[in-house]
Amino acid sequence: MAVQTDPPIAGHGAAGHGPESGPRRDFLTLLTGAAAVIGAGAFVFPFLDSLSPVGGPDSADATVDVDLSKVAPGQQIVVVWRGRPVFVVHRTPAALLALQDTNLTNRLRDWASRELQQPDYVVNWHRSLAPEYGVMVGICTHLGCVPGYVPNPSPTEPVANWPGGYACPCHGSKFDLAGRVFEGAPAQYNLPVPPYSMPTKTSLRIGLSPDDLDFDFDTIRQL
Ligand code: FES
């Protein structure tokens, strides 16, 4: 399993990593036992293909397990699932409050997740099974670049009143820490949420829905 770690969310008002400060160059992977996979911050995925399921149920990477006990509050790791980056972020209590703030939701294109960009079982304000853990396919819904993790709130960067989230280095689309796209961005849709379950409170199984539920990733709405 390939993962990339990002630093924990720092204090309020810390500098962001928006276009003005340059695309993130640290979108490189660490591995838990294999070789590095993902490239730089402006890495572009072949967009339509990237969202098509590859590998059937018997595929070696049909599911990926993640040990959440190794993801500190404020930290993000990137897991490669079926050839795609999947962001797994441990959201802090402050970040969870920000996700519910109308000062943020009023700036989002689809704050209530009405578009089919996620399984029904994560249609809620945090777009996940457990509020503190976000799980999103890390491919911009505009043209397929990999958004950078910009977790620190800032009054100015990468945009005014930044609550923390993701900034795409290619054409400037912004997403919050639940993967919800900001109004005015070239991207039209929230970041997809893959099917996943939580076998325990500290583990994820990406690619497999909870036992009593189902979700076909091929039904994700895209451009
Ligand atoms: S690919 Fe992300 S804004 Fe264009």
170 lines ligand 1 (CB under 6 A): yes
CA within 13 Å, CB half, 128: 26
173 lines ligand 1 (CB under 6 A): yes
pTM above 0.85? no
168 lines ligand 1 (CB under 6 A): yes
CATH match of 1-223 with 2.40.128.50: no
Secondary structure (H, E, C), 63-116: CEEEEHHHCCCCCEEEEEECCEEEEEEECCHHHHHHHCCHHHHCCECCCCCCCC
Q: Where are the domains of the chain?
A: 1-223
Mutate to test the pocket of ligand 1, among 170, 188, 223 (most ligand atoms within 8 A of CB): 170
Residue 22: per-residue pLDDT: 33
Residue 5: per-residue pLDDT: 52
140 lines ligand 1 (CB under 6 A): yes
Give burial (CB, 10 Å; 0-12/13-18/19+) of 193: buried
The per-residue pLDDT string of the chain (223 residues; one tens digit each, 9 = 90 and over) reads: 445 555 444 433 333 333 333 333 333 332 222 222 333 346 666 554 444 444 444 454 589 999 999 999 999 999 999 999 999 999 999 999 999 999 999 999 999 999 999 999 999 999 999 999 999 999 999 999 999 999 999 999 999 999 999 999 999 999 999 999 999 999 999 999 999 999 999 999 999 999 989 999 989 876 4
Q: Which residues are catalytic?
A: 171
